Amino acid sequence: MDAGFIKEFFKRNGVGMGWFLIIAVGFWVVVLIILPQISMFDFSFRNDLPPPEIGGPKDVYTLKNYQYLIFGADGNPDGYNKTDLAVFGKTLLAAAFVTILDLVLCYPIAYYLGQSTGGGMARLFVLLLIIPYWINEILRAFAFRIIFGDSGVINEMLMVIGIIDNPIDFVRENIALYAGLGYAYILLMIFPMYNVIESLDRNQIEAARDMGASWIKIHRRIVIPYAKPGISSGCTMVFMLSAGALAAPQILGGPSSLWFTQIIYQWFNQSVNWPQGSAFAAVLLVTCIIIVLGVMRLFNVNMGDIGK
């Protein structure tokens, strides 16, 4: 960044706006993202000490918080911390499942919205998608609990139609959880895809049709490759947020299911062991990033494409 660039930056945006951008973005990146994460990492390598001992001779860096996640407490007969690792794995798998579910549900909607000529129908559709988000997340989760409950609408309906005789325990089967999580992030999946598909030239689709391509072929060869940046950006957000969700698993999760974030929450709030919680959180974050980068590599998407 040479002086010319900075000069140009101020000339283009004006002095007031230029400073605002620098300060606001700087504050956002440094104070709200980088510093808290650094202190989290720092925490994760420390011992859990009562306040008077902090800074004392016992306050040294240690790997024991990470060790605990992998091997459990000292003298653990299993050798590995099977409980926490299983929850960790299940959380990631469930997040991947929610991501795929959302992708499958949202792609047709995004395609329809993106390729419709923006008439009244499409606008109504977008509005219908957005309005439910006026209701707060926890309320929505409880609403799902009611809908999926033993005497909820769905069970009642299935029983009236006669498909089932006894109510299905959707909560125990985690169906309510997947539905709630999937529903929570639908917009984050639709809009990035919609944005990209909207800019796809309709003539390309017509040209392919003219050459005899089936709809499957058109999507596989033309629309999906074109929408890839939007697909990956939507998937990234949904995966990250699902893996990091707390409220939905808390409210909608079955009694046997525990989300990794709930364990982190317990470390912070119930056990008041921040270093241990930080280590778990750090592992979740880093693993998620590695998975996302790996999948991007697999599907040949660049980081720059995601911002499109």
Partner 1 sequence: MSEGVGVDLENVWIRFGDFVAVREANVQINGGEFFSFLGPSGCGKTTILRAVSGFLEPSDGNVLIGGNNMAGFGPNERPTALIFQNLALFPLMKVWENIAFSMEVRGASAGERRKRADELLDMIALSGQGDKLPSELSGGQKQRVAIARALCAEPDVLLLDEPLSALDLKLRQHMRSELREIQKRVGITFIYITHDQGEALTMSDSVAVMKAGIIDQIADGKSIYDDPATAFVASFVGENNVFRGKVKSVSKDSAIIETNRTGNLRARISSDNQGKLKVGDDAMMFIRPEALDISTNDTSSDTRIKARVTHSEFEGQSYHVFLEGTEGKEMKMSLINRGEDRMYERGKELYLDFDANQAVALPAGELASE
Distances (CA, A) of 301 to 189, 244, 292: 17, 23, 11
298 binds partner 1 per the rule CB under 8 A:
no
CA 56 – CA 51 distance, rounded (Å): 10
Structure tokens at 303: 């980081």
Smaller CB distance to partner 1: residue 173 or 201? 201
List the x/- string, 187-206, binding to partner 1 by CB under 8 A.
--------------x-xx-x
Smaller CB distance to partner 1: residue 172 or 202? 202
CB of 100 to partner 1, least distance (A): 23
221 binds partner 1 per the rule CB under 8 A:
yes
CB of 199 to partner 1, least distance (A): 11
Question: Burial, 227: exposed, middle or buried (Cβ in 10 Å; 0-12, 13-18, 19+)?
Answer: buried
Smaller CB distance to partner 1: residue 55 or 119? 119
Structure tokens at 55: 């800074």
Residues of span 84-113 touching partner 1 by CB under 8 A: none
**Using CB under 8 A, which of 7, 82, 209, 297 touches partner 1?**
209
H or E stretch covering 95: helix 82-115
Residues whose CB falls within 8 Å of the CB of residue 303, separated by 6 or more in sequence, listed in order: 296
216 binds partner 1 per the rule CB under 8 A:
no
CA 158 – CA 143 distance, rounded (Å): 18
First to last CA, the chain: 23
Residues of span 226-265 touching partner 1 by CB under 8 A: 226
Smaller CB distance to partner 1: residue 83 or 300? 300
What residues make contact with partner 1 under the rule CB under 8 A? 201, 203-204, 206-214, 217, 221-222, 225-226
